[in-house]
Structures are given as structure tokens and as C-alpha cells.
Structure 1
Amino acid sequence: MFTTDKRLKRSTISRAVAGAIAGVMAMSSASAQQTSALDSEEEVERIFVTASKRPLTLQDTPIAVSVTSAADIEQSKIVDVLDLQVLVPSLKVSQTTLTSATSFSIRGFGSPSGIGTEPSVGVFIDGVFRSRAGGAISDLPRVERVEVLSGPQSTLFGKNASAGVVSVITSAPSFVTEGRVEATLGNYNQRRVKGYVTGGVTDELALSFSAGINRRDGFVTSLQAGVPDQDDRDRWNVRGQALWEPTPDVSLRVIADYSEIDEICCSSPNVISGPVNGIVLALGGIVLDENNPFARESVLIKAPTNDLEDGGISAHLDVDFAGFSLTSITAYRFNSLAASNPVGNSSVDTSTSVRDIDIRAFSQELRLTSTSDGPFSWIAGGFFFDEEIESTDALEYGPQLRPFVNLLTGGGLVAVESALGFPEGTFYPEGISVSYAEGQDNKDYSFFASADYQLTDSLTLTGGLNYTNDRKQAYVRETSNDDVFSAINFNTLAGGAFAGLSAAQFRPPTVSFPNSLENGKSDDSDTTYLLRLAYKLNENYNFYISQATGFKSSSWDLTNFSRPSSSLASALDASGENSSNPMYGSRFSSPEYSTVTEVGMKVWYQNFQANLAIFDQSLDDFQVRSFDGIDFFQANAGKTSVDGFEFDVRYSLNKNWTFTLAGTYLDPIYDEFENAPPGPNAPLDEFGNRIPEDLSGTRPLNIPEKSMVAGIVYTTSFDTADMYVRADYTYESALVFAPSGSITANNPDFTRQVNNLGMSAGLHFDNNMSVQVWGRNLTDDENLLSVYGQAGQAGTVGAYINQPRTYGVTVGYTF
């Protein structure tokens, strides 16, 4: 039955793709006939990209790549990488518990955030790999373009790009003196100021400097006196560059940047209230209406804080020799986070999670690229990456945790305390904490090469290889645990008479690693490849077919939920290293492998451009990580696949009107996933742990079947000014957040369909002054972004919600 369904879906895809191709061919024919409607002297600017590590036009690049230009970014008021998804339908960016807890996915797949989990979507800024989202979410500097590459890119990007790449290319210093300053005011007290200045110091040296401040009040109003509103903006950044060109053949570009984020993030209203609501009310707390999460109100007793610092320096050297060029990119990055979050979405002070993370990374890429004429061209290089992560975190118990647990257990806390002979107040006293230290040392190197051979003037064969070796040494240590109650094994005490109390044990002692059975080491290597045949029919049409593989190394759970496998229970008992109250789970995901077969077409006319890619992508041992309010689970899905297509079309009716349409269709499935994170009602094993579920044959979570972005831009000129008006509409088809059997299954409150309209209009005057008015989510679309079990509140489900309608005005001056 499953095979038949899959064949039907693929038949539907084939028909849809055939229709799309026919439509593109028809539109391009019409485009050719209408070219004369444009001014014959007017040329559409060809977009050059470096997705293939060579400067090629977008239409000549046989890769599925979406390009967002500087003009698109400026007109649409794209501020950071999170905003890009309103223009690129294949890219999705989600943000959850922390500002830095951001994850990227392309074509539906990417890795969830976590300091021990590297991204499946690699983020590169000016060629420098950002290993964690916290190093890529600051406001964008002066950007030349952003390229989003779909599918594995291992043969050209040296580190973990198994699902795709987001490549941000910023503007280099100019030898001509110029600059710009702009200020923005908007609703929610939005205040944003940014600017840059650049110019030549000598004939060989040019400098640039840019800076920005971005502040905004929170979207979510706090109902607690003295607690600030949540989901605000408070960040600033500075960036300096030097470009030295001593000869026509040598160029050295040095970039230094620093940014800070200090924000109250991220709110998560309850959408299902569990049995603890009565306890919260009994303790004098406040309970919000679960049926109205978009009231955007918070009852948190403390504000969740996120203090993030990010910075680094990089040197980009390019040297031209006879027949080839040398590129060297050397970078050092640092990123630190200090966060404090009250546990659960509650108005009572039960506990607070505190975390400090420090990441240091050095990377070096060397690349040789052929420059001589001829049918054969090549790229060869190497990449080295050395990263060290150090983290500490603690759960600090608040004054209302003891009465909360006592009421939760029907007075059992005090009764058991007395029955077992503990002094009154021993269990869950205020002020104690459970503390941990986590870290990882990662060394990665790779060698890569690709070559193009022109079989004929129209036909080009491309082959590429990448060998990667990735080594990690990870650790998680429990440094202190004063929780006496959670250290007791109630499942065995008095023949299990008190087993029901185990649900109220929030921090049982954990088994640290490395230990005698778990060395905390992973050593992974793999060779990935690219094969592609590209056919250039003429100056207007290009076709290609390719197959590429990708690889992502092992991931460790570097949190206090990191637990050994139950298969080690007996050996841990024998070694004396087991906990007094053993809890088992997962803390390791083996490497992830991807393969994508793709057919693509690119069309270019003066007033019409189109790109289409049809793909079949599979992921073996896809790394999965989830949290249900009680535990984190880390696992590998045996095999996951997605069929689909993506396209983007740009049509210029005349010199004033431009229409764009881009879309993605995805049909993903877990072909094999027998060890999936268990649901809240899953049966228990002999150790009291929930048994993993079998999700084979089900659709992965939170992936819309259809995504689309449509845009219209009107430009014109007056005697004293240039004007534009722009509208961008984003659509995502309805999806259900959870699979069958889960607490949110088939509940219409836990589905999402996106209908989002953004608009902007601007005038640029001859005196170099400019003014823009803009709005985001003008439809005031209300959608859940994700749902999850609230921490420490069995039966309670929380959700993250989208941003409300925003609007503002921007005034700038260019010189």
C-alpha cells in the first residue's frame, strides 16, 4: 500500500513538473516575442554568483541556487538571516528557547539547534564557516548578495553541508569614497540606526567601516510587575575591513567584526493546559487562557535573558599566477552565550535554568583554481577546522518548588520525607542547585577537488570529490547535585511501593562521561562525490543532471539530559559508575549521509528568467533531536527521503514592472525510523523509560508540502527622484505538527498555514536623501511555529508563535 501511494505521489510530481516546464517554455517564447517592448538599449543586469567557487552568471551556474540581491534586501528590509525565508521558499529558519537556538533547513531538512549538534545546512559569511547559529544571526552588514544552495555541497564547501548552504557575501571596501547612514522608526517602539563609510586611503589600500544598532520593545506583554516584556530586540554590531591590492595580481582583504545581543527571548504560551494549573492557582499564580495564545501575554515570574557576544577576524588572500589562482581564507571566531530561563511557562518560581557557553574556532581554507583557457578547468583545495566548546549549566531551585511538588504528589513529598526518616525540609529546599559542565574539542580536515571538461561547445562534464575526517572528544560531567529526593530510586525502594513518585524527580544523578564504557570520542571519515552533465542549448537555455552526496559527522548531546543507553545498564552497575537512580536515554548520533539526484533547467531572456530543479533526495541516519517537556532525545532516522521540485521565475513586463514567483513542493517521508523519540503515552521498559516509537512510513514533522513567494515591483523616475513600490506574498500549505498518537494529533489548533504579505515603497531623491515605508505580516497572520511539552509540567503543551504585524519608516542619506 505504501509503495502504491508513493508511486501515485511521484506521478503527481511528474505531471506538475511537466506542466511547469511547459509553462516556462511557453512564457519564454512569449518573452522572446515581447523583448522588443523593452528599450533596446536597456539591458537586464545579469546576476553573478560564486556558488561554484567561480564567478558565473546565475543562469550559467548548473546548481540549484536562489540569489537574494542587495536591492531585494534593501527594498524588503531584510535585517538578518531569519528574514531571508520571506524571499526564499526552500529556506526555513526557526527560533525556539533562546535567541541563539536557531536552526536552518533547506528542502525541509536541517539539524535542530544544540551546541553538540552541528548544522546540516552550512552557514558561511564571506567564505568563513559559522559552526553554530549563534554566530550567524546578528543583523546583516552591508551585503552584496545572499546565495542559498540546495542539496549537498561537500565538494566545494569543506564542512558539513549535507543539506545545503547559506552563503552571505558582503561588500568589499571601495577605492571611491562613499557611504550611507539610515534611521528607522516603527511600531513596538522600533529604533534602528545603521551606516557605513568606505574609501581609498592610497592607490593600493581601501578601508570600510560599518555599524548598526537595533532596538525594539517586546511583542509579548508581561503581566508580572517588574518583569520586562518578551521577544524584544536589543543588539548592535561593528565591522571594519581593509582591502590591500599592491599589484593587479594580489589582493588581501581583512575583516574584523563584533556584535552583541541582549534580548528577552523567547515566549511560549500554553496551548494545552495540564493538571498543574490547579497547583499554580493554589500557590497564588496566574493561568492564561490556553485558547488564545495570540493574546501575546506572559506570566513568567522572571524574564528569560540571552546575552550573546560574537566576533572574529579573517584574512582573504587572492593571488593570480600564470594559469591558476590561489585563494586563502584564514579565520578565527569566538561566540559566547549567557542565558537564564525560568523552567516551564509558569507564574510560580519553581526553578531557573542558567547556562554559559563559550565557543572558539579557527579555520583555514586553501584553494587553487585554474584560469587558463581551454576545455578543462579545475578547482582543488583543503580545509582545516579546529573548534573548542566549553559550557556550564545549572538548575537552581526556587522558593515555590517544594510546595509545588508537595501538591503535585498529593502531600506525598512531606509524607515520604517523614517515612524515610529525613529531616523536614530535606526535599527540594530553596537555593540548592544541580550543576553540570560540558564541552567538546573538534578537529576536522578535508581535501576537495572538482573539474569541468567541455566535451563539446555545448556539453560539459563535471566531477568532484571530497574526503573529510572529523574527530571529536566530548564530555558531560555532573559537578554537583544537592537534590536528595531525585537521588532515591523509588522504583526499587520498598518493593516499588513509592514508584509513583518517580515522575516528580526532576534531576536524578546522571552518569558522566567519558567513563570506563563510554570514551566520548568519535572519529568519522567519508568520501563524497559530485557528478554532473550540463548542456547549453544556446544563450537562452541551459540544462543539467547531477548526483551528489553529502556527509555530516557524529553529534553528541552536550546537555544535562545526556544519558547512557540502557544497553550499558549491567556494565555500569558492575563498574560502580551507575547512578543511584539510573536514567537511560541517548547522547550520541552517528554520522548522517545524504544523496540527491537532480535535473535542472535555466532560462535567460532580456525580460524573462526562470530556474527549475526536480530532485530526489535521501538521507541515511538523519540526525534527529527532540524535547517533550521531560527529556531530550537524540537519535538517527534510518532512512528519510524527499521528492520534489523548486522553481523561481522573474518577468519584466517593461522597464517599470517586474514580477517574481518562486516555489517549492516537498513530499518527505521517514522510510525507516524504528528508534524514534517516544511520545508522552509510550509504554515503559524495565527501567521505567519510555520505549522508542516506530515512525517508519510517516511524514516528518513541520515540513509544508507547498511553499511559495510571489513578488511585484514597480519602479519609475520623476524629475527629482526615483521611486519603487514592492509587495511580497508568502504562502505555506497547511501542515500538522505531530504524528498520529501524539498529544497534538489531528487537532486543528496544532496546524499551520501561512499567508503573509509584506509591502514597501521608497523614494530616492536627487539630493541623495531617501525615504521608505514598509510593513511585514500586514495580513496579521497568526501561526504556531512549533509545539512541545512544557518542561516539568506533564500534560501541558507550549508553542512558539510568529511575529505580529510590524511597520515603520526609514530615512537615509547616501554620499
Structure 2
Amino acid sequence: MRRPARLAVAIHASLLMLALPAVAQDAPAGETTPATIDTIVVTAQKREQQVQEVPIAISAYSGDFLENFGATDLTDIGNLVPGLEILEQSPNNPGFVIRGITSDSGEAFSPPRVSVFQDGVSISRARGAVVQPFDLERVEVLRGPQGTLFGRGAQVGAVHFVQNKAFQGHESSFTLGAGSDQYRKMSGVVNTPITDALAARLAIYHESNEGFVENLAGGRLNGKDTTALRLGFGLDIDDGKRVDVIFNHQKDTPPGTAFRTPVLPTRAGSTDLFDYTADLNRGEQLGLDRTVNGLTILGEFRINDSWSLSTITGWREFASLEQFDADGSQLNALEFAEDVEGDQVSQEFRFNYDGGGAFRGFAGFSYYDEDGFQRVPFMTDERQLAALLSPALSAGVGAATGGLIQLPIVSPLNPNLTPFLGYTAFPALGIPGIPLGFPLPLSASYGEEYTNFGSAKAWDVFADGTWSVNDRLELTLGLRGTHEKLRSGYEALNYGGFSALGQVLPAAPTTIAFPNMLFQPVARTYAEDSYSSAVGRAVASYLFSDTLTGYASVSRGRRPDVIEFALGEDGTPNEVPAEILVSYELGLKGTAFGDTLAYDVAVFNYDYSNFQAQVLNPNGLGTITANGGNASATGAELSMILRATDGLRAFFNYGYIDATFDERDDDGNEQTLAGNRFRLTPEHSASAGLDWQFSVGDGKVGYLRPSWNWRSQVYFEDQNQPGIEQAGYALVDVRAGVIFGGGKWELGAFVKNATDKEYLIDGGNTGQNFGLPTFIVGAPRTWGLEFTGRF
């Protein structure tokens, strides 16, 4: 499973793409007259603005654009935004990367670096952050510290999903799809008025596929099975007053993740990662069962001509249980599960002022309360795990007979391959009180587990205002103060034998379990503390001409303090101070060639202090959080979008990133990872796409939408180990179809990874802690057909 980002210093560049608006479905054939760029309205600064007016590095995508280019999961969105990477091992285990900084920890006490929002409500916890992007008004992706606008945790950026709301009108649509790997899709939307003031909107979405990896132990892997439902009500009380109530439900039950090691062959004798097979224990028992529920209440109340009140009330809960095989092989050595639950409530009141004069802004206060835990059970056959960890592994484990791996222990003290292994075979796991060479009975089924707990209560006050000095110059100043109370907990248990994860059985009287194999037993213990902090921003925006705007900003971001209990230790908490980021940014936004081309350029510099690094735990398994001192990052971003005619639009992005660790710390000592690049951060990235519509006769409109996404080589771990990496590769997707019946009907087809490129989406993972790194392959070529009706 993916681990948090390590100590990092980034020099980063990427391209930023503006929203590509939806293409009119009745575009005339052969149209050659230039057309101006359509605009998209965003609320990144808590007021409606055209995206080109916002003095922030921001990408905004309409829901129609996402549908047109087949963005059916978060990874697709990440592929469209330079500087943003979104990787999914499963819906339970995403990784968000903005400007080289990764946010992917599942620990209950670990605050995320990248904030994810849904209609203004934080959904940032990694195990609950993956939401199905369907029936969206738009997605806003903001880079740089956004704490003033979005609150605690939005240290390096924010991803904001804005859902379609119920309105006073009739609208309905459906889409049915089928394709390779038993791909099935069904979605639908109905919007209808109930009274003159009340409207309702129901949106449903289901997508599934059996998975593109065959598990030789049974079942399929790397598939999808997601069902999402949204029910919203919109109440227009009177002029300037409105309340929206939105309920979201999502259920994910995909098959397991295909962790695969090239070291140990499958029962078919293969070590080829790209034969799209695996041989993982527990077969069809592997997989995820995840439920996410949320209730959001949005209020907009006009007080008078100058003042209004905005309220955001949020409640959310998620629960997931994921079973995974971390050794990536037939070995019954690293059998894990992850059981996670979390719930939260939040409330924000914001008073907005715009009297039509030189000043406008907002001020308010908010409350946030979350609580959760992460339980990680572990099961092993000690004989097989000991062989895996033993120096004698190379002498025998992995030998094959009839295509099957031989699992008994090979030890100098046990030449007959008995299930007993001498203490000399694993000196690194020394057992106090057992003399050298003592033959220790090893259990065929042994289990341990640990649980971490986390809760946070935060109270915020904030204000942000913009003053128009003249017709060209605007100055913005924002400040947010936070007081928070954090509580962390930890517990570790070990038991004798059990037959399956979660089903603990008494150990046999003759079994002597290998004591404290991974997790030192610790009775449940807690630690807590309170902190106060402030973040802010100052922005100057200047209108050079009717087609060119520039801005300069300085902002302060913060990742909250961490109170952590480390695996293998005695229950003493590790307290790490808050990570502080100061960002300096310059940007230009403009249009050219008669408003047919829009572009966006930004350059930035980051200065970090108390960088919260992930380092190897010196006293146990995995990593711990440590104060990595100071770090810095610089970079640049650019985007372009072209509307050549009403029927032809295009976008192009290119990015360059140089993100490395500092050579030395503040004391002049050489750092362990000196010169290494950040994980999951390519030096070069690019994406491009076309949306071409044309007449095919009889009132029918055809379309062709190819897209291309390229990333250069990346390391999956900050150690930059050779082999734990992915060489540069490009993916090509194509969508094509025909719209007929006056826009009422649409028949389309798509191909993803049209060139059938072989690539990895992750490497290292839990197995790397045991010297057995595992890899997850990306999907091969897939295809599908979809039929849509609109009424």
C-alpha cells in the first residue's frame, strides 16, 4: 500500500489547462468561422468569477467536458491537469499529488496535504476521498496554499467537486454501456419541479468490470464495481434566498488489487508482470467493501443589496474493509487487511459584502469535528515468512517442481525441510531467552494487528477582502486563524492461530507462536494536545489590457501538527510540529487571436519549514513522521486552449518538473536522500486533445475526440531504487460517435489505451518492507459502446 511522501525539496514546472467547455451538439458542418472561447464561472474565491479573472493557478472543467472526454474516475481527471497526479490502487487507496507533494496516508491521525472538497465540504481523508465524478457542474483544481479560502489542510492545493443542483425545470437523461472485461455502465438523471419554489434532482450511476487481471488462485483482480446515488432538493424561498439539501451515497465492492512480484513465479511459472495474471491467496475473498454517505445543506441568504450570508453544513461517514495479499505471490506470508471507519461534521457561516464600490470581501467562522480509526490485521504462515526473511531463502524457496513453488523452510539446521527453523537463520529477528541454534516450532497460522485512532476538533475565523485601487489594480488580503484539538491513539495485539483474517481461533496447545513478529503488543493508549495557528494570503492583480491580466501573490500554508504512535515501539507518542509553507507566485492570464486562444502562465517559489518527512522507523516496521527541517521548491506552469471554429476545439499542456531533495540539512550534514527526486513526480508531462464535430447528413452530427497523455520516468519511492520505477510512456484514448434526433440521442464508442501500452501505476508497496517489492500494472487496451438519451 502507498506510503506518505518523504522529506522533499521540489523545483517544479508544469502546464495549467483552462476549462474546455462543452461543445454544442448542433455545430454546423464545415464551419470555418473563428469562434471566441467560451468562459466558465468558478467560485474559488467564494464569489462567482470567470476563470480568467481569478488570480490563482486554477484549472476548471465543466461536467460536460469530463463526460465528452470519458473522465469516469479521478485518475482521468488527474491526467488532464498538469501538476496534478491522482493514482488509485483501489477506491480505498488513492494518492493525490500536487506540485510534487503527495497526500495518500490512510492513518487516522495523519492530516492530508491536499484537500478534496465536495460542494464546500471537506472529504480529504484518503479512505473516503474517492468519489465517483458524475452529474457534475464543474471541477476546480487549485494549486498553491489555499488555507485562507478552503481551511485547514489545504497546504499545497485543493480539488473541489461542484455537483449539479436541482432547478426549476424538467431534465432527464440516461446512459447505458457495455464493453471489454464485462464492462457495464448505467447512469441516469431526473430533474423536476415539485412546487413553484421546490425542485428535486435524482442522479444515479453504476459502473462495473470484472477486472483485467486473472487470479490463478480464483477470481479476477483490478476491476471496478461502483454504485453511486445523489438526491438533491433546491428550495427558492424568495429573491436572493435559497437552500439546497444534498444526500450522497456510494458503494464500492471491486475485486482485489493485483499486487505482483517478479521474484516469485505464479503456478504457471511466469514472472512476467504484463501477462495480466496473478497468483494471490484467498482468491475471490480479496477485494474491497466500502460505503460512503454524506449530507450537505447549502444556504444562500440575501440580507440587503450589499450583504449576504452563505452557510455550509456537512455530515459524512465512511467505512471500508479491504483484503489484500501484500507478498504478491502464492506464499501465505504477508496476508493483510485494512479496516477503516471515519465520520465528521462541519459547519461554516460566511458573510459576503459587495456594495458595488471599490471594496468587496467576506468574513466568517467555521467548526470541524472528525473521528476515525484504521485497523490493520496481519496473518502469516510463520514457516513461509521465516523463509522469506531468512538468508537461506536463496537456497531453496522459489525452486519450482511441476510449476508449483516449494514452500517448506530451507535451513542449515533442517536439511530435511522440516517446519522447524534454527534461531541462527534469522539473526536480525533475535528472540531474547532462546539460545543460539535452538529449534523453534513455527506456527502455520499466526496473526497480529494494530489500530491507530485519530480525532480533530477545529474552530476557524477568517476574512478576505479585495480593494479596487483603480480600474486596473486590485489588492487582496486574506487571513484565517485556527484553534484545534488533536487526539491520537494506538493499540497493538497478537494472537495465536486463526483460519482467516478477522476470524480469530484459539492457538493449539502445542503451538508456540513466533513472539512479536511485527507489532509489539501495546495496550490502547491516547495522547492529545491543542494548537493555534494562522495562514493568509496577499495578492495584487493588474489588468494590462482587455486581453491580459497579471497577478502576484504571497501566501502561507500549514499542515497541522502530528501526534503519532509508531509500529514496534512501546506506545510513547511522537509529536511533530506543524509544517509551514510560504509561497510566492506570479501569473499571467490572457487571450489572443480574437479571443480564439486562451493561455495561462504561472511561476512560483516555495519555502518550507518543519517539513514533515516520512522516514524508516528505526524501532519497528514501516515509516514514521519526522521533522525534516527546511525545504524549497520553484516551478512554472502554462496552459493553452484553442477554439478554431464552432466545431473544432483543442487543448495542449506541457510541464517540466525538477523536484529533488536538498543536498544538506541546516547543520551542513548530507541528507540521506540527497539529490533524489520526489516519488510519483515526472520531470516532463504533456497532454493534448481535440473535440471535432461535423455533419454526417440528415441532421446528424458526428464527433471525434482523441486525447493524449504523456509522463516521463518516475520513481515510486523517495529512495529512487533502480527497478522501483516506471519509464516514460504515453496513453492514447479515443472517443467517437454520432448525435441524432435533434440532439436527443447519442451512440458512441471509446477505446482507452488504444496503443495497448504496458505500464505500471505503482511499485514497492507493503512488500518492500520485507525485501519483496510488488507492482501494480495499468490497464491494457479496453473498449466500450455507450448509448445516451436526453429528454
Distance in structure 1 (CA, Å) of the matches to 2:330 and 2:784? 34
Report Cα offsets for 1:129-181 as digits up to 9, x if no partner.
00313323132230111110001001111221001000111111121111111
- Cα gap change, 1:46/1:353 in structure 2, threshold over 3 Å: closer, same or farther? same
Amino acid in the other structure paired with 1:107: R
- Given the alignment of the two structures, is residue 407 of structure 1 paired with residue 398 of structure 2, yes or no? no
Q: Contact 2:294/2:314 (CA < 8 Å) preserved in 1?
A: yes
- Given the alignment of the two structures, is residue 547 of structure 1 paired with residue 554 of structure 2, yes or no? yes
- Cα gap change, 1:508/1:123 in structure 2, threshold over 3 Å: closer, same or farther? closer
Question: Equivalent of 1:191, from 184, 195, 198?
Answer: 184
1:165-314 equivalent positions in 2, closer than 5 A: 165-224=158-217, 227-271=218-262, 273=263, 277=264, 286=267, 289-290=270-271, 292-303=272-283, 304-314=286-296
Q: Contact 2:422/2:440 (CA < 8 Å) preserved in 1?
A: no
1:20-39 equivalent positions in 2, closer than 5 A: 39=33
Question: Equivalent of 2:450, from 436, 448, 456?
Answer: 436
Question: Equivalent of 2:595, from 586, 595, 606?
Answer: 606
Q: Contact 2:341/2:374 (CA < 8 Å) preserved in 1?
A: yes
Distance in structure 2 (CA, Å) of the matches to 1:220 and 1:211? 28
Distance in structure 2 (CA, Å) of the matches to 1:296 and 1:181? 33
Pairwise CA distance, 1:408: 5.8
1:703-718 equivalent positions in 2, closer than 5 A: 703-717=681-695, 718=697
Report Cα offsets for 1:499-537 as digits up to 9, x if no partner.
xxx9996325244563xxxx6224333211111110012
Pairwise CA distance, 1:421: 9.8
Pairwise CA distance, 1:700: 2.1
| Unaligned residue ranges in structure 1 (runs of 5+) | 1-8, 25-36, 484-501, 565-577, 676-690
Per the alignment, residue 545 of structure 2 pairs with 538
Question: Equivalent of 1:110, from 97, 102, 123?
Answer: 102
Amino acid in the other structure paired with 2:84: L
Per the alignment, residue 622 of structure 1 pairs with 611
Question: Equivalent of 1:329, from 312, 330, 338?
Answer: 312
Q: Larger RCO: Structure 1 or Structure 2 (Cα < 8 Å, ≥ 6 residues apart)?
A: 2
Amino acid in the other structure paired with 1:468: T
Per the alignment, residue 722 of structure 1 pairs with 701
Distance in structure 1 (CA, Å) of the matches to 2:40 and 2:252? 33
- Cα gap change, 1:809/1:401 in structure 2, threshold over 3 Å: closer, same or farther? same
Per the alignment, residue 159 of structure 1 pairs with 152
Give the number of the structure whose residues are more often helix, by fraction.
1
Amino acid in the other structure paired with 1:306: L
* Counterpart secondary structure, 1:73: helix
Q: Contact 2:260/2:327 (CA < 8 Å) preserved in 1?
A: no
- Given the alignment of the two structures, is residue 79 of structure 1 paired with residue 72 of structure 2, yes or no? yes
Pairwise CA distance, 1:187: 1.1
- Cα gap change, 1:563/1:449 in structure 2, threshold over 3 Å: closer, same or farther? farther
- Given the alignment of the two structures, is residue 777 of structure 1 paired with residue 753 of structure 2, yes or no? yes
Amino acid in the other structure paired with 1:360: D
Q: Contact 2:384/2:409 (CA < 8 Å) preserved in 1?
A: no
Per the alignment, residue 315 of structure 1 pairs with 297
* Counterpart secondary structure, 1:155: helix
Per the alignment, residue 386 of structure 1 pairs with 369
Question: Equivalent of 1:808, from 780, 784, 789?
Answer: 784
- Cα gap change, 1:620/1:801 in structure 2, threshold over 3 Å: closer, same or farther? farther
Distance in structure 2 (CA, Å) of the matches to 1:775 and 1:319? 46
Per the alignment, residue 445 of structure 1 pairs with 459
Pairwise CA distance, 1:92: 0.3
Question: Equivalent of 2:676, from 678, 690, 698?
Answer: 698
Distance in structure 2 (CA, Å) of the matches to 1:385 and 1:665? 37
Pairwise CA distance, 1:87: 1.2
- Cα gap change, 1:752/1:471 in structure 2, threshold over 3 Å: closer, same or farther? farther
Amino acid in the other structure paired with 1:363: S
Distance in structure 1 (CA, Å) of the matches to 2:367 and 2:195? 34
* Counterpart secondary structure, 1:82: helix
Q: Contact 1:363/1:384 (CA < 8 Å) preserved in 2?
A: yes
Report Cα offsets for 1:267-314 as digits up to 9, x if no partner.
12224x2xxx5xxx8xxx738544x21112101122432111001111
| Unaligned residue ranges in structure 2 (runs of 5+) | 1-9, 19-30, 389-407, 415-419, 424-430, 498-512
Pairwise CA distance, 1:617: 2.0
Per the alignment, residue 502 of structure 2 pairs with none
Q: Contact 1:639/1:672 (CA < 8 Å) preserved in 2?
A: no
Amino acid in the other structure paired with 2:451: A
Q: Contact 1:111/1:117 (CA < 8 Å) preserved in 2?
A: no
| Aligned positions, number | 710
Q: Contact 2:639/2:653 (CA < 8 Å) preserved in 1?
A: yes
Q: Contact 1:353/1:395 (CA < 8 Å) preserved in 2?
A: yes
* Counterpart secondary structure, 1:713: strand
Amino acid in the other structure paired with 2:102: G
- Given the alignment of the two structures, is residue 795 of structure 1 paired with residue 777 of structure 2, yes or no? no
Q: Over the residues paired in the alignment, what is the CA RMSD in angstroms?
A: 3.3
- Cα gap change, 1:645/1:534 in structure 2, threshold over 3 Å: closer, same or farther? same
Per the alignment, residue 633 of structure 2 pairs with 642
Amino acid in the other structure paired with 1:257: N
- Given the alignment of the two structures, is residue 477 of structure 1 paired with residue 457 of structure 2, yes or no? no
Question: Equivalent of 1:366, from 337, 349, 352?
Answer: 349
Range 195-204 or range 519-528, more displaced: 519-528
Pairwise CA distance, 1:621: 2.9
Distance in structure 2 (CA, Å) of the matches to 1:99 and 1:618? 33
Report Cα offsets for 1:384-415 as digits up to 9, x if no partner.
11001134332234486478577265457444
- Cα gap change, 1:505/1:248 in structure 2, threshold over 3 Å: closer, same or farther? same
Per the alignment, residue 354 of structure 1 pairs with 337
* Counterpart secondary structure, 2:630: strand
- Cα gap change, 1:221/1:471 in structure 2, threshold over 3 Å: closer, same or farther? same
Pairwise CA distance, 1:641: 2.3
Report Cα offsets for 1:531-560 as digits up to 9, x if no partner.
1110012221111011111111123557xx
Distance in structure 2 (CA, Å) of the matches to 1:661 and 1:636? 39
Q: Contact 2:597/2:642 (CA < 8 Å) preserved in 1?
A: yes
* Counterpart secondary structure, 1:270: coil
Amino acid in the other structure paired with 2:267: I
Distance in structure 2 (CA, Å) of the matches to 1:654 and 1:391? 53
Distance in structure 2 (CA, Å) of the matches to 1:133 and 1:692? 33
Per the alignment, residue 506 of structure 2 pairs with none
Distance in structure 2 (CA, Å) of the matches to 1:673 and 1:357? 38
Q: Contact 1:301/1:348 (CA < 8 Å) preserved in 2?
A: yes
Range 642-651 or range 404-413, more displaced: 404-413
Distance in structure 2 (CA, Å) of the matches to 1:340 and 1:427? 28
Pairwise CA distance, 1:368: 1.1
Give the structure-1-normalised TM-score. Answer: 0.81
Per the alignment, residue 62 of structure 1 pairs with 55
* Counterpart secondary structure, 2:52: helix
Range 641-650 or range 629-638, more displaced: 629-638
Q: Contact 2:767/2:774 (CA < 8 Å) preserved in 1?
A: no
Amino acid in the other structure paired with 1:753: G
Give the structure-2-normalised TM-score. Answer: 0.83
Q: Contact 1:82/1:137 (CA < 8 Å) preserved in 2?
A: no
Per the alignment, residue 762 of structure 2 pairs with 786
Pairwise CA distance, 1:814: 0.6
Distance in structure 2 (CA, Å) of the matches to 1:732 and 1:125? 28
Distance in structure 2 (CA, Å) of the matches to 1:793 and 1:59? 47
Per the alignment, residue 454 of structure 1 pairs with 468
Amino acid in the other structure paired with 1:286: R
- Cα gap change, 1:659/1:637 in structure 2, threshold over 3 Å: closer, same or farther? same
Pairwise CA distance, 1:234: 1.1
* Counterpart secondary structure, 1:791: helix
* Counterpart secondary structure, 2:184: strand
